[in-house]
Amino acid sequence: MIDLNAARRVRLLGLDVDGVLTNNAVQVGLIGGQRVEFKQFDIQDGLGIGLARRAGLLVVWVSGRFSEATSLRATELAVDDLIQDRTARKVPALAAVLERRGVGWDEVAFVGDDLSDLPVLRRVGLPLAVANAVGEVRGLAAYVTRASGGAGAVREVVELLLRAQGRWEATLHSYLGEREGDT
């Protein structure tokens, strides 16, 4: 069960990319002599991110590597901030976003899966892990998703957060109303 008090304080949802938004697979090759990289993102996670933003949560992706595939998907989903730090120094990068946005560490939920996420998970108000996270991350997490990274874990987290904040039904109604043409 998710910590309801911590979940109610969340204003910003931080997400690692590889292993949380993807299944950890990276396909690299050459097309016309140019390096290309492909990643697989879960469509339900994408809808979850849209619902989180619709409900007023800030969504920030934090990756320890640069990837054009990540940039493309982040743009498509209109995430609020995308951090791609080749040094995997996620704490200073995220700290700058929090300062700029006026959000405290205690108002952050962060979903991680691997060792490079531990420094961030130790600082946030609601540390979360995907089901297939390494043991150290699962051990630190206040909640471990049922779903694996890249297979609906982010959608699961968004629904849990919005339900805890009492915003799930209104957000869902708004989303479905648009699809029915009622707004």
Three-state DSSP state, 161: helix
**Residue 2 φ then ψ, to 5°:** -75, 145
pLDDT digits 0-9 by tens, 69-96: 999 999 999 999 999 998 889 999 999 9
pLDDT band at 153 (very low <50, low <70, confident <90, very high): very high
pLDDT band at 182 (very low <50, low <70, confident <90, very high): low
At residue 183, the pLDDT reads 52
Task: State the residue for tokens 């150290």.
Answer: 136
pLDDT digits 0-9 by tens, 27-59: 788 889 888 888 999 999 999 999 999 999 999
Superfamily of domain 10-180: HAD superfamily/HAD-like (3.40.50.1000)
Domain boundaries, the chain: 10-180
Q: Which residues pair with 28 in a beta bridge?
A: 37
What is the pTM (predicted TM-score) of this model? 0.94
Tell me, what amino acid is at 156?
A: E
Three-state DSSP state, 128: strand
> Helices in the chain by DSSP H: which ranges?
4-9, 43-54, 68-77, 90-101, 118-121, 135-140, 153-164, 168-180
Alpha carbons 104 and 14: distance in angstroms, whole number: 13
